[in-house]
């Protein structure tokens, strides 16, 4: 299948069947969110939906998704969810409107430059080894919680690396409350419900205040010391816009919270899914173990090992294909537009779903099969087909950071442990805006080599 967008080509358009009066497709979407979204591609390239009062289009064809994400002057990141997210965690890179985005992205891009990765990876390796050091043979762990602890430790360390007090500050604790509280707030159906003084809301406000206090102190300490500590906070403090202006303390704080939120749950969910997929596919797990035994011989993985661990990298890519954590995303149309030969009115919402694209049999043969070897080909997937990190100007800034972290974690853990989910209950995705697994447990078995 070619996936080159031709402006003159016509793409099919339809309204999804089964809309109910008033509620539209909302009940079907809520009942089976993933199956519902994946099924839309059968109706057309651009499918119209009604979710209660919201009229939306879903771009199901990769060409249309490519155009949606690369023509960012027409299609903006915005809408209700982004507005709520901005209210909850500030005007950082992930939530800022188009008008602020170019400046922010330019200022932050150097922090994620490839040259910085080896430094971050060294910190990641230490944190991965540290968080798994207390694991014991036969222990049963709550997998998503353990992976979340691991990725929180990594992100906190890469943000505030060398600060001698970072370890003694309750950063992890605040992050946990803030991250989960923000996710809940984005989903809240009743306006103002986040201001009711419930114990949960009070805990959230306290954690948010503490996190702000901690970052404020770290910022003033870092500014006073004036040295680059090779971490993300140093990069944020050193970032200059085209007028030579630095970020204000509030802007730095918003970016810190953005990185914590965008970078922890996402990578933790990817790792959790990887353990379930490996357990369900023992032949691939055996090959992974063989790769790790040859290269690592039981020691933790380092950045320099990654080129010698191609199967590990393919397992990360394939996990993100089957379980793209950001499984449905949206854009709003700035002015009347045309997409695939169809008129879209200004203000309309257009959704796209990496999950839908990644499960299309015409793009990925046997799409439900976990097959890391499908990535053996050197040909890159056609534009718009494989988009776990999005595309275009708003593409994930942390992509290389996340894939490096995931590869190091899988390699370090699988070199020493077999992770076997407790049998009897299939692991399912939780309902929500991120495709995280529901809580599940697994037994750790120390590998004999």
Footprint on this chain of ligand HEM (rule: CB under 6 A) = 77, 93-94, 105, 258-259, 262-263, 266-267, 270, 325-326, 329, 388-390, 394, 396-398, 401-402
Residue at shortest CB range from ligand HEM: 398
What does the alpha-carbon distance between residue 190 and residue 182 come to, in Å, rounded to a whole number? 15
Q: How far is the CB of 234 from ligand HEM (least distance, A)?
A: 15
Is the Cβ of residue 169 or residue 325 nearer to ligand HEM in the bound state?
Answer: 325
Closest distance of CB 267 from ligand HEM, Å: 4
* Closer by beta carbon to ligand HEM, 16 or else 93: 93
- What is the closest distance, in whole angstroms, from the C-beta atom of residue 15 to ligand HEM in the complex? 25
Q: Of 38 and 260, which has the nearer Cβ to ligand HEM? A: 260
Is the CB of 257 or the CB of 296 nearer to ligand HEM? Answer: 257
Give the number of other CB atoms < 10 A from CB of residue 339. 25
Residue 383 phi, psi (nearest 5): -55, 135
- Report which secondary-structure segment, H or E, holds 184: helix 171-187
To ligand HEM, the closest distance from the beta carbon of 103 in angstroms equals 11
Does an H or E element contain 75, and which? strand 75-76
Name the residue nearer to ligand HEM (CB basis): 94 or 141. Answer: 94
Joined together, the tokens standing for residue 391 give 């595309």
Residues written for the chain: 449
Residue 35: half-sphere exposure toward Cβ, Cα within 13 Å: 6
Give the separation between CA 59 and CA 69, rounded to whole angstroms. Answer: 11
- In the complex with ligand HEM, the residue whose CB is nearer, 139 or 360, is 360
Counting Cα atoms < 13 Å in the Cβ hemisphere of 74 gives 14
CB 309 within 8 A of CB 291: yes
Q: Residue 10 CB, nearest distance to ligand HEM (Å)?
A: 26
Closest CA to 188 of 439, 432, 430: 432
d(CA 150, CA 214) in angstroms, rounded, equals: 21
In this complex, which beta carbon is closest to ligand HEM, that of residue 28 or of residue 239? 239
Between 118 and 298, CB nearer to ligand HEM: 118
Please state the closest distance from residue 264 (CB atom) to ligand HEM, in A. 8
Strand order in the sheet with 54-59: 13-15, 46-51, 54-59, 349-352, 329-333, 75-76
- The least distance separating ligand HEM from the CB of residue 53, rounded to whole angstroms, comes to 22
Residue with smaller CB distance to ligand HEM, 62 or 388: 388
140-142/349-352 β-pairing: unpaired
84's tokens: 């709520």
CB of 142 to ligand HEM, least distance (A): 20
Tell me how far, at minimum, the Cβ of 394 lies from ligand HEM, in Å: 4
Task: Output DSSP code: residue 422.
Answer: P
The two beta strands, 46-51 and 54-59, are antiparallel
Q: Which is nearer to ligand HEM, 321 or 394 (CB)?
A: 394
Closest distance of CB 155 from ligand HEM, Å: 6
* Cα–Cα nearest to 289, from 419, 193, 395: 419
């Amino acid at each position: 299948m070619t996936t080159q967008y031709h402006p003159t080509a016509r793409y099919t358009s339809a309204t999804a069947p089964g809309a109910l009066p008033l509620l539209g497709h909302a009940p079907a979407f809520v009942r089976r969110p993933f199956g519902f979204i994946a099924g839309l591609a059968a109706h057309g390239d651009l499918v119209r939906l009604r979710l209660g009062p919201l009229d939306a289009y879903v771009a199901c064809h990769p060409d249309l998704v490519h155009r949606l994400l690369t023509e960012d002057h027409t299609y903006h990141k915005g809408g209700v969810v982004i507005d709520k997210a901005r209210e909850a965690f500030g005007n950082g890179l992930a939530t800022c409107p188009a008008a602020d985005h170019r400046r922010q992205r330019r200022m932050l891009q150097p922090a994620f430059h490839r040259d910085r990765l080896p430094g971050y990876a060294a910190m990641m390796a230490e944190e991965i080894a540290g968080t798994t050091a207390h694991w014991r043979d036969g222990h049963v762990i709550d997998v998503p919680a353990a992976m979340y602890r691991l990725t929180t430790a990594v992100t906190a360390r890469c943000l505030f690396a060398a600060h001698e007090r970072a370890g003694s500050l309750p950063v992890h604790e605040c992050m946990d409350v803030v991250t989960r509280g923000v996710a809940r707030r984005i989903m809240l159906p009743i306006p103002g419900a986040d201001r009711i003084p419930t114990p949960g809301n009070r805990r959230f406000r306290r954690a948010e205040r503490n996190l702000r206090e901690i970052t404020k102190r770290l910022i003033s300490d870092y500014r006073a010391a004036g040295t680059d500590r090779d971490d993300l906070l140093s990069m944020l403090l050193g970032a200059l816009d085209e007028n030579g202006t630095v970020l204000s303390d509030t802007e730095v704080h918003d970016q810190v919270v953005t990185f914590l939120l965008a970078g922890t749950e996402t990578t933790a969910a990817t790792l959790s899914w990887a353990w379930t997929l490996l357990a369900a596919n023992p032949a691939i797990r055996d090959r992974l173990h063989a790769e790790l035994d040859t290269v690592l011989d039981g020691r933790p993985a380092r950045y320099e090992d990654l080129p010698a661990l191609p199967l590990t990298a393919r397992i990360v890519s394939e996990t993100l294909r089957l379980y793209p954590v950001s499984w449905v995303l949206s854009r709003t149309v700035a002015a009347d537009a045309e997409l695939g030969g169809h008129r879209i009115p200004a203000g309309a919402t257009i959704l796209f779903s990496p999950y839908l694209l990644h499960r299309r049999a015409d793009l990925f043969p046997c799409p439900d099969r976990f097959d890391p070897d499908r990535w053996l080909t050197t040909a890159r997937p056609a534009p718009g087909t494989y988009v776990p990190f999005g595309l275009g100007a708003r593409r994930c800034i942390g992509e290389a950071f996340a894939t490096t972290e995931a590869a190091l974690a899988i390699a370090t853990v699988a070199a020493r442990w077999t992770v076997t989910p407790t049998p009897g209950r299939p692991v399912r995705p939780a309902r929500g805006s991120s495709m995280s697994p529901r809580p599940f447990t697994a037994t750790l078995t120390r590998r004999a080599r």
